[in-house]
Amino acid sequence: MKNLVSIADCSKQQLLEILSLAAKFEENPNQKILDGKIVATLFFEPSTRTRLSFETAVNRLGGRVIGFSDAATSSSSKGETLHDTIQIVNNYADVIVMRHHLDGAARYASEVSRVPIVNAGDGSNQHPSQTLLDLYSIQKTQGTLENLHICLVGDLKYGRTVHSLIMAMVHFNPTFHFISPNELQMPEEYKIFCRKNNIKFTESTELDGNFNNADILYMTRVQRERFQDPMEYEKVKNVYTLKKSMLEDSKPNLRILHPLPRVGEIDVDVDSSEKAYYFQQAQNGLYIRQAILCMVLGIDGLVED
């Protein structure tokens, strides 16, 4: 695999291979296998976890990082096109990790780039490296990816992480429970995808009491930056707040995931629950991103105990 643009481009076998490689990096994250490689991180949108974990992944593997974390400091702010930016960075780097506000920007970049493109999030479309770390977290906490009940909660309209996760889980016979306000329902295209692929799903607007059968409770932030009208955001921004008391009747194996950042949808009192897994989930991102970089650079079989 040369690029990681959409999780839908990955076969089941490829997904499982990346998870397996990540587990090896978790055992031993410091290996100098990217010596001489330069990774460009082009972040046209803000990020904490994705950019820093990719950059940590490169540093721990002995590579070097160039890039920008704010498009305002790049020549895109002077009007340079994405096409031209990619051409220029192709002259400097061996792989480009890119986040962009436009759906499809990573796909376009992959079509004009000579070096691999890793999509670090494009608009409300895809966030495949997040999905891989979500799969890794689910597998680690549940012991399997198969036949799980997964509640997706919050902004299902604009949340790219839930869109990617649905597509990845197609291989593992999940049952989804979509919980969102009416304004932020799962888009029809993803429901059509579920129906076509025999993925069972339910829809609800209520959180409390609706996840007692769930194995995974996947909370999401309302994506303020995607709203055209700030008043529409104000109406839904505090729609759900998960509190520790709401977990009383949940299954013992339930784990709470969140791609983060959270802005109020998980009360801090949940942090002390053994079911809270979102900070470990973010840590898992380091090992997954080490595995992704090796995969797109064709570095294989170098992980030894």
The contact set with ligand CP (CB under 6 A) reads 47-50, 121, 130, 259-261
Question: Of 37 and 49, which CB lies nearer to ligand CP in the complex structure?
Answer: 49
Q: Is 49 known to be catalytic?
A: yes
Question: Of 4 and 199, which CB lies nearer to ligand CP in the complex structure?
Answer: 4
Q: How far is the CB of 273 from ligand CP (least distance, A)?
A: 21
Sheet strands side by side (includes 117-122): 64-68, 38-43, 95-100, 117-122
Residue 159 token pair: 């949340």
Q: What is the phi/psi pair of residue 191, to 5°?
A: -70, -40
Question: Of 3 and 69, which CB lies nearer to ligand CP in the complex structure?
Answer: 69
Q: Is 226 known to be catalytic?
A: no
Nearest CA to 98 among 46, 161, 41, 160? Answer: 41
Q: Which amino acid is at 122?
A: D
In what helix (H) or strand (E) does residue 66 lie, and over which residues does it extend?
strand 64-68
Question: Of 162 and 297, which CB lies nearer to ligand CP in the complex structure?
Answer: 162
Q: How far is the CB of 277 from ligand CP (least distance, A)?
A: 14
Q: How far is the CB of 127 from ligand CP (least distance, A)?
A: 6
Question: Of 18 and 199, which CB lies nearer to ligand CP in the complex structure?
Answer: 18
Active-site residue, from 37, 49, 51, 255: 49
Residue 162 token pair: 């839930």
Active-site residue, from 24, 127, 157, 221: 127
- Distance set, CA 66 to CA 22, 54, 72, 170 (Å): 23, 12, 16, 35
Q: Is 99 known to be catalytic?
A: yes
**Distance, CA of 79 to CA of 207 (rounded, Å):** 44
**Distance, CA of 52 to CA of 43 (rounded, Å):** 11
Q: Is 114 known to be catalytic?
A: no
Nearest CA to 45 among 66, 88, 76? Answer: 76
Active-site residue, from 24, 37, 41, 50: 50
Give me the half-sphere count of Cα atoms (radius 13 Å) on the Cβ side of residue 200. 8
Q: How far is the CB of 118 from ligand CP (least distance, A)?
A: 13
Q: How far is the CB of 197 from ligand CP (least distance, A)?
A: 25
CB 189 within 8 A of CB 212: no
Q: Is 160 known to be catalytic?
A: no
By annotation, the residues acting in catalysis are 49-50, 78, 99, 127
